[in-house]
Each structure stands twice: as C-alpha cells, then as structure tokens.
Amino acid sequence: MTDKATNMAEETKTPTRTRRKVRQGVVTSDKMQRTVTVSLVRRYAHPVYGKQVTRTKKVKARNDQGAKAGDTVRIMETRPLAKTVSWRVTEIVERAK
C-alpha cells in the first residue's frame, strides 16, 4: 500500500463523534428503579423587554451513581436507554441536606 492509501484508510476507519451535551440539575424524583427525574433550569433575557425569564425542563436520567431526591447532579446525553431515558448521571455534585 502506498502512503496515500494508508492515510485514507485511517481517516475512514475512525469516524468523529460530536460532543455530548452535559447539564447540571436537581433530582426531583427517585421513585423509579434505575431512573431519576432531573429538573434543568435555564435563565435568559427576554428578547424585547430584557427581563430575566426562567424556564424549567424535566428529563429522565439513568442513575448508576445512587443519587437521591434533592441532590445536585451532572448529567450527560447518551443513546436512548429506554422510551423516555436519553441521559445518564455522571457525577453527584452536591448531596441534599
């Protein structure tokens, strides 16, 4: 094989993967067996009035770290693990008091 063919084979063999989304939120429910519900809060300025607007989104995440309700956790996007679960808990930032 020539050097050019070897380089082309190496480039096509390893496709690049996009960066996974990482978010931080508070666990609102841990009643399921391996899943927790995490509340994600985002704040932004209203485009016309400039007032700070708060929006909340609830996502379900696979809980392998043992997070409980009230814990602040960091979650990462992953492949679909169940019908509604596409995130997983990567670390517990702060335990509930």
The dotted CATH code for 17-94 is 2.40.50.140
Quote the pLDDT of residue 31: 97
Q: Given pLDDT bands bounded at 50, 70 and 90, which one contains residue 84?
A: very high
Q: pTM to 2 decimals?
A: 0.79
Could you state, in order of their start, the residue ranges of all structural domains in the chain? 17-94
Please report, for residues 18, 35, 42, 60, 89, the alpha-carbon distance to residue 78 in angstroms, rounded to integers and kept in the order given: 11, 14, 21, 12, 10
Structure confidence at residue 15 as a pLDDT band (50, 70, 90) = confident
The candidate with the shortest Cα–Cα distance to 34, out of 72, 69, 65, 74, is: 65
